[in-house]
Amino acid sequence: MLNWIWLGLILISIVFAAFTGKMEAVSTASMTTAKQAVEYVIGLVGPMVFFLGLMRIAQDGGLLLAIARGLRPVMRRLFPDVPTEHPAMGAMIMNMASNMLGLGNAATPFGLKAMIELERINSRPGVATNAMALFLAINTSSITLFPLGVIAVRTSLGSTAPGSIFLPTLVATACSTTIGVIAAILLSKLPSYRADKFPISTCSTTDDAANRAASETAIEYGPTQAPAPMGGMQRLFLVSFGLLVLIGLALEVHERMATQSAVEILKTMSPHWLVPALIAALLLVGFAGRVRVYESMVEGGREGLQVAVKIVPFFVAILVAVGMFRASGAMDFLLTGLAPLTSLIGVPVEALPVALLRPLSGGGSFALMSETMATYGPDSFIGVLVSTLQGSTETTFYVLALYLGAARVRHGRHTLPACLLADLAGFLASVAACHFFFRGLA
């Protein structure tokens, strides 16, 4: 589908320009946007290296394992058909914990492993089980605690409050996950989605290459054992640091209370406090886990550099197509037609392309988000909305194709409808959260 969308944007641009006399503008845009795409990535390298380095520190400090342990009681209730000690349960827990931390590279191997193990206990091979559908619905709508990639882009574009999207993203992903879980459970009960209505497959996943890749790749991400317990001096340092920060926070809140309400204080302070607080929290997790924070930071930074390099083709391909589409006048024509509809739910029509592309391509929507923020400003309402949209939904079609394909599941049953309902909930919740937190932005 993405192939057709990308090809269509370029061909429609050329046809539209032929009738509007804007062929010169389209030709110029094809070159200038390719150059701009690379410039965006260059500006993104520093923040990406820094934030992913911080995440590696926290990961090495045991944060991933701590979240995984916290999820275990909930998982027992959500997946009663999966034995508690089965490898599928452990892989699902690690996948969800990785997604919550924004560790997409780490989450994928665990997700592949989980799907393959779930297929091993599937009584109808090739037909998605209720556990598979629920797992994928949660995976594509996962609660996001740290949208560091988006924050890095906002930082590179000069945002005065790059962390301001933290709370809206958390609210939106909490809503999308809740709807995804409810939808997967309710849809599984419909007669049309009963498992016995779909033919089983005789394919086996025992020798599947994805199984081996998942097993081998999973060991590259962080420790598998809890870090050493803290000593007395470490506890004293952590408590002292926390008290000093809380005292400073209390003093600023007290000073603002004379002129602002509690809601206004939250809105004005949280964007500026969240990023420093996040940096401190991730560093202290590593410190508490006795991680050599500098070495871990450098190692994570290397991963950030690799991510930045990998997204260059996505940026160039998408931004050139969108740039040509805009230069031809087709974008203005389309947005003018859609504006009356999007205004009904308070969505600027300029943000709609990111929302539509997000379920199809993570790299493509990431590039389009960056271009949109560069055009309208990262701190404009459009800028914060596309930032929140990027962080609150997943590349649904890609994830389903990858995970179902790895397990050789041919019939997804209610998986796709549940995931799309979660995406829709994430979109609507993002819009509502941005209107609440950023009311008054132009």
* pLDDT range class, residue 104, cuts 50, 70, 90: low
Q: Does residue 400 lie in a domain region?
A: yes
Decide if 47 contacts 153 (C-beta within 8 A): yes
Q: Does residue 103 lie in a domain region?
A: yes
Q: How many CA atoms lie within 13 A of 114 on its CB side?
A: 26
Q: CB neighbours of 334 closer than 8 A, spacing ≥ 6? A: none
pTM: 0.69
Q: Does residue 199 lie in a domain region?
A: yes
Q: Does residue 113 lie in a domain region?
A: yes
Q: Does residue 428 lie in a domain region?
A: yes
The count of structural domains within the chain is 1
The pLDDT of residue 158 is above 80: yes
Q: Does residue 275 lie in a domain region?
A: no
What distances in angstroms separate CA 186 from CA 1, 123, 196, 416, one per listed residue? Answer: 28, 21, 17, 13
The residue range of the domain holding 156 is: 2-227+291-437
The pLDDT of residue 255 is above 50: yes
Q: Does residue 286 lie in a domain region?
A: no
Q: What percent of the chain shows pLDDT beyond 90?
A: 11
Q: What percent of the chain shows pLDDT beyond 70?
A: 88
Highest-confidence range of 77-91, 182-196, 354-368, by mean pLDDT? Answer: 182-196
pLDDT digits (tens, 9 = 90+) for 356-411: 778 776 767 788 888 889 888 888 999 999 988 887 777 787 778 778 887 888 88
Looking at the DSSP assignment, which residues form a beta bridge with residue 411?
127
Q: Does residue 336 lie in a domain region?
A: yes
Task: Give the SS3 label for residue 128.
Answer: coil
pLDDT at 203: 54
pLDDT at 221: 39
* pLDDT range class, residue 230, cuts 50, 70, 90: low
pLDDT at 212: 43
What distances in angstroms separate CA 322 from CA 41, 95, 341, 396, one per listed residue? Answer: 17, 33, 22, 22
